[in-house]
């Protein structure tokens, strides 16, 4: 922690490294690799340390967030539909200029994230562009890119599809808003794809395309309903290690045995549970496969809103008979909510040697009394409690 603070101080104040106690170079690099220095701090480190220059550059250019500014144009003709123009943000234009002028830096880029911010401030004077040109430009300047993120809702499929087609063969990770047939066809060209993150999957996508796409996936994340297509999981059953799905899709996930699954994140949706309660019966085949997923170490329950109680879902997942606390897990995480009453009952009934070793929590508002109750319960049960900063 002291080393990280020292590097942050160097970066934010511009102090020369020779004026401060000197850490061994390998320790400085390790601190840089594991710390949360800002983009600006990393850039400053590049300027003040020749020893760290090459190493810090790798961290600095590994991920670039490309931002387009969407400006609503005034309507003088009485048209009902608004018109817009797109411009690079200042930082994104500077990044483009740097990559254009220094090709060796472009080779360091591994991840590109494309997003749009909207404004009606006409005083902004930037460089006009289109979303298509922006995506084409940055992917051409980053020949080593292996990860693309197009989940922004203002980046429609017709804009990023040409980009996927041109770099698909080398992609390892893709994040898109909607996975439709055209995107599947573009991504299916990659034999290296390991991570797929989508909001929704078009029900019209042919199963053979989904099977081809998912054959070597290690991570799948689907954030919205409808249910996950079974073929997507079945084709990746032998390799999949990390999954994020709405609760509605959990029975679909475990229709097959997942011997390699290590991390499971469940997006809690109580209305889904109520609609299809019978789907979650513990007598179903999926429940057997779930219990036999012996590699599963970490289960995260994620609530999307402040007032989402999801009582029925909690009862099923944290029940006293065959819930999460009854299976051997390294850790259970709670994101967005601590179901206090349910946890008190579940933890209170644990044996002297609890199956679960750790409990983590990241909330919107940390209620100190609530945290102390859970901390005390965990201490009594022999479970380590980790309140995490949101």
* pLDDT for res 44: 61
pLDDT at 8 over 50: no
Helix (H/G/I), strand (E/B), else coil: 219: strand
158, with CB counted inside 10 A (0-12, 13-18, 19+), is exposed
pLDDT at 390 over 60: no
pLDDT at 242 over 60: yes
Q: Which two tokens stand for residue 117?
A: 């911010």
* pLDDT for res 5: 46
* pLDDT for res 3: 45
User: Does residue 359 contact residue 374 with C-beta atoms inside 8 Å?
Assistant: yes
Length of the chain: 390
Residue bearing tokens 């644990």: 350
Task: Give the N- to C-terminal CA distance of the chain in Å, as an integer.
Answer: 19
Residue bearing tokens 């170490």: 297
User: Does residue 127 contact residue 90 with C-beta atoms inside 8 Å?
Assistant: no
pLDDT, tens digit (0-9, with 9 covering 90-100), for 296-311: 999 999 987 655 567 7
Residue 130 CB partners (closer than 8 Å, separation 6+): 86, 159
* pLDDT for res 25: 56
DSSP of 36-67: ---HHHHHHHHHH-HHHHHHHHHHHHHEEEEE
What are 321-329's contacts with CB under 8 Å, separation 24+? 322/282, 322/287, 322/291, 324/299, 324/356, 325/349, 325/350, 325/354, 325/355, 325/356, 326/355, 327/291, 327/296, 327/355, 327/356, 328/355, 328/356, 329/296, 329/297, 329/298, 329/299, 329/355, 329/356, 329/357
When mean pLDDT is compared over 146-150, 281-285, 312-316, 336-340, the highest value belongs to 146-150
* pLDDT for res 66: 93
Task: Work out the average pLDDT over 373-380.
Answer: 92
- Average pLDDT value for the chain: 81
User: Does residue 11 contact residue 42 with C-beta atoms inside 8 Å?
Assistant: yes
Per residue, what are the HEC states of 316-365?
HHCCCCCCHHHCCEEEEEEECCCCHHHHHHHHHCCCCCCCEEEEEEECCC
Task: Work out the average pLDDT over 61-66.
Answer: 90
Q: Where are the alpha helices (DSSP H) in the chain?
A: 2-13, 25-34, 39-48, 50-62, 90-101, 103-106, 131-141, 157-167, 181-187, 207-214, 230-234, 250-253, 270-275, 285-291, 311-317, 340-348, 368-381
Q: What percent of the chain has pLDDT over 90?
A: 27
Q: Which residues pair with 222 in a beta bridge?
A: 198
Higher confidence at residue 251 or residue 24?
251
Peptide bond preceding 226: is omega within 30 degrees of 0, i.e. cis? yes
Task: Work out the average pLDDT over 7-35.
Answer: 52
Q: What percent of the chain has pLDDT over 70?
A: 75
Q: Which residues pair with 84 in a beta bridge?
A: 72
pLDDT at 256 over 80: yes
CA pseudo-torsion sign 285, 288, 292, 293: positive
Task: Work out the average pLDDT over 269-273.
Answer: 66
Higher confidence at residue 96 or residue 83?
96
Q: Per mean pLDDT, which range of 59-63, 254-258, 273-277 is the poorest?
A: 273-277
pLDDT at 212 over 60: yes
* pLDDT for res 12: 46
Q: How far is CA 69 from CA 76, 213, 387, in A?
A: 22, 33, 37
Helix (H/G/I), strand (E/B), else coil: 257: coil
CA pseudo-torsion sign 85, 88, 90, 93: negative
pLDDT at 381 over 70: yes
* pLDDT for res 331: 96
Task: Work out the average pLDDT over 88-94.
Answer: 88
pTM of the full structure: 0.81
Using 50, 70 and 90 to split pLDDT, how confident is the model at 15?
Answer: very low
pLDDT at 13 over 60: no
Higher confidence at residue 38 or residue 240?
240
């Amino acid at each position: 922690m002291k080393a990280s603070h020292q590097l942050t101080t160097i970066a934010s104040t511009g102090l020369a490294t020779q004026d401060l106690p000197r850490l061994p170079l390998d320790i400085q690099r390790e601190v840089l690799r594991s710390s949360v220095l800002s983009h600006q701090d990393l850039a400053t480190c590049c300027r003040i340390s020749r020893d760290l220059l090459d190493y810090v550059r790798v961290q600095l250019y590994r991920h670039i967030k490309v931002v387009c500014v969407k400006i609503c144009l005034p309507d003088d003709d009485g048209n009902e539909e608004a018109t817009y123009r797109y411009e690079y943000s200042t930082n994104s234009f500077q990044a483009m200029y740097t990559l254009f002028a220094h090709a060796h830096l472009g080779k360091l880029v591994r991840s590109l994230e494309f997003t749009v911010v909207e404004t009606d401030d006409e005083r902004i004077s930037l460089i006009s562009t289109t979303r298509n040109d922006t995506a084409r430009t940055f992917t051409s300047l980053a020949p080593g890119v292996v990860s693309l993120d197009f989940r922004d809702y203002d980046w429609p499929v017709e804009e990023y599809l040409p980009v996927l087609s041109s770099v698909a063969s080398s992609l390892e990770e893709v994040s898109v808003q909607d996975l439709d047939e055209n995107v599947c066809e573009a991504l299916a060209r990659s034999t290296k794809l390991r991570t797929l993150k989508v909001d929704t999957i078009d029900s019209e996508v042919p199963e053979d395309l989904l099977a081809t796409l998912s054959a070597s996936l290690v991570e799948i994340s689907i954030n919205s309903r409808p249910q996950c297509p079974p073929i997507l999981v079945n084709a990746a059953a032998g390799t999949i290690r990390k999954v994020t799905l709405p609760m509605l899709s959990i029975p679909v996930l475990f229709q097959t045995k997942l011997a390699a699954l290590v991390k499971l994140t469940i997006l809690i949706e109580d209305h889904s549970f109520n609609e299809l309660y019978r789907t979650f019966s513990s007598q179903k085949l999926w429940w057997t496969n779930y219990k036999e997923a012996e590699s599963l170490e970490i289960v995260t329950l994620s609530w999307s809103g402040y007032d989402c109680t999801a009582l029925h879902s909690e009862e099923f997942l944290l029940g006293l008979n065959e819930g999460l606390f009854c299976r051997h897990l390294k850790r259970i995480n709670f994101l967005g909510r601590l179901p206090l009453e349910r946890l008190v009952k579940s933890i209170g009934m644990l044996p002297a040697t609890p199956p679960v070793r750790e409990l983590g929590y990241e909330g919107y508002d940390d209620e100190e009394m609530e945290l102390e109750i859970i901390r005390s319960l965990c201490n009594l049960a022999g479970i380590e409690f980790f309140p995490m900063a949101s």
